[in-house]
Amino acid sequence: MKAWTPVPQVVGIIGLGKLGSALGLKLRDRGFRVLGSVKSPKSRERLTKMGFEVHLDNNVVVSKSDVVILSVKPYNVEEISVKTEKPLISFVAGVPLSKLSAFSNRPFRAMTNVALTTIAVTGPYDEQIDGLLKAISPRVIWVDEKLIDPLTVVLGSGPALVAKLLDSFVRASVDIGVPWDIAKEVADELFRYVPLLMRQRSPEELVEMIATPGGTTIKALVEMAEIERVMASAFEGAMARLVPKR
């Protein structure tokens, strides 16, 4: 068996789907050699054209890699039949370290999203793994495993939820007479720059600064009072669906 090198240079990805290929492209751009596995010859052909070394056998990927990334759907985990002493980083939602230990004696759980904005990871802190993940995203946070499931909802579902909020903002703007193109431009700028303002002020301070008594902003905020309940309900629903996957 090939020994794991101190600085992993060859990364094998089991499951080159949307997230797996996004991880692979990022690592390849940072100078890593990336290979991966898929289930169908058609997917293999498509990903080969993207420049990946692709195999249909997961064990071939493991044997050629210094570190392994697992990025399959939760319902496909039962089909995985690999065993290695190399580090294995799983981006599979809802699968605990205790189960991942069947594949590797050095398992790590991680979660991010297709935008690769932040990576949350759990497992014994490892400098090489930290460095590898920082090649994917500059923001890597090591957390207790109990936080990975909630962060799966926040990080994994986050882009879709924010996209839905932005779309709702655009549609509401159009409803009061703003043309579609202008509504989209204004919404994009607001969703881009308001988070920058919130680095300097809390949400409460920002609201108090803008919402004058009896004004249009405070009226809009009163009408939006239900949004906190709806957001909490959305997160709770997502968590309830995630946990049974174990």
Phi, psi of 194 (to 5 degrees): -60, -40
* Beta-strand pair 119-122/107-111: antiparallel
16 is in an annotated binding site: yes
221 is in an annotated binding site: no
227 is in an annotated binding site: no
At position 142, the amino acid (one-letter code) is: W
Check: CB of residue 145 under 8 Å from CB of residue 122. yes
- 14's enclosing H/E stretch is strand 10-14
At position 170, the amino acid (one-letter code) is: V
20 is in an annotated binding site: no
How far is it, in rounded angstroms, from Cα 148 to Cα 93?
9
86 is in an annotated binding site: no
How far is it, in rounded angstroms, from Cα 204 to Cα 225?
14
17 is in an annotated binding site: yes
18 is in an annotated binding site: yes
Q: Which residues are annotated as a binding site?
A: 14-19, 58
Q: Which residues are annotated as a binding site for NADP(+)?
A: 14-19
Q: Which residues are annotated as a binding site for NADPH?
A: 58
